[in-house]
């Protein structure tokens, strides 16, 4: 579908076509078809979420980065792992619903393990409970993608004292989802599951593709520490 897309208008058309998908599985099919051109297309969009999430973790993580094990949820082609590698991390487990995306992530050589899983439709493995020093999810917490409830599963597989880093967009089309996400994050904090370490709002998150928005859309990076 996106073969040959190399201008902003080309990429805009590709991303806009995703709005025709009404189910999670249709969205997975869309990303599967986009995998080959995904990296070049999001570069054109100036998509900053992986870099911003990696910077957030790097600014707060004080443990041994060589020994730390990171779970990259909705890892896609491995953009976030590449950024984390630049910050000195090197032990990655990746999870994504799209096998074509996982094939590209596999080629990076960064991941010790890659697992295909429909996030939100099946829980993360029981044996992963309290296992990861850092859990990251960049790009999948938005309308039409992962349900808000998955954040509880992300917390479950994080070690006590470990970090969960999440991103979401704050543009008009995602405000309802963000409101539900903020409510769930706060509820989990009130339940004593984790504490909020940092919330970073970013104005220029990525170039806008909706006809209702111009310039750049905004986004936010959340960092929580499991108790």
- CA–CA separation, 224 vs 40, rounded Å? 31
All residues at 6 or more sequence positions from 83 whose CB lies less than 8 Å from its CB, including other chains: 50, 51, 53, 54, 55
Q: Is 110 helix (H, G, I), strand (E, B) or coil?
A: coil
By the 8 A CB rule, do 83 and 59 touch?
Answer: no
**What global pTM score does this model have?**
0.95
Better-predicted residue by pLDDT, 112 or 5: 112
Domain ranges of the chain: 50-226
Residue 4: pLDDT above 60? no
- What percent of the chain stands above pLDDT 70? 98
For residue range 119-175, list pLDDT tens digits in order. 989 899 999 999 999 999 999 999 889 999 999 999 999 999 999 999 999 999 999
CB–CB of 113/94 below 8 Å?
Answer: yes
pLDDT band per the 50, 70, 90 thresholds, residue 76: very high
- What's the rounded Cα separation, in Å, for the pair 39 and 16? 17
Residue for token pair 């919330």: 199
Residue 2's pLDDT is what? 42
In terms of CATH, what superfamily is 50-226?
Vaccinia Virus protein VP39 (3.40.50.150)
Q: How confident is the model at residue 3 (pLDDT cuts 50, 70, 90)?
A: very low
On the question of pLDDT at 211 being above 80, the answer is: yes
Percent of the chain with pLDDT over 90: 87
């Amino acid at each position: 579908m996106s073969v040959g897309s190399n201008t902003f208008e080309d990429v805009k058309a590709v991303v806009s076509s995703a709005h025709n998908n009404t189910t999670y599985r249709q969205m997975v099919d869309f990303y599967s078809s986009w995998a080959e051109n995904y990296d070049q297309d999001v570069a054109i969009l100036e998509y900053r979420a992986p870099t911003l999430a990696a910077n957030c973790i790097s600014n707060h993580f004080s443990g041994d980065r060589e020994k730390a094990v990171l779970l990259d949820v909705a890892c896609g082609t491995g953009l976030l792992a590449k950024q984390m590698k630049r910050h000195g991390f090197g032990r990655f487990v990746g999870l994504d619903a799209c096998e074509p995306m996982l094939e590209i992530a596999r080629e990076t050589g960064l991941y010790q393990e890659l697992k295909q899983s429909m996030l939100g439709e099946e829980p993360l493995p029981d044996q992963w409970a309290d296992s990861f020093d850092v859990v990251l999810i960049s790009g999948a917490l938005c309308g039409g993608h992962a349900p808000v409830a998955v954040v509880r599963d992300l917390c479950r597989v994080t070690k006590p004292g470990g970090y969960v880093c999440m991103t979401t967009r704050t543009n008009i089309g995602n405000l309802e989802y963000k409101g539900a996400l903020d409510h769930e994050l706060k509820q989990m904090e009130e339940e004593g599951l984790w504490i909020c370490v940092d919330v970073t709002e970013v104005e220029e998150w990525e170039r806008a593709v909706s006809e209702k928005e111009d310039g750049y859309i905004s986004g936010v990076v959340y960092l929580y520490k499991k108790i």
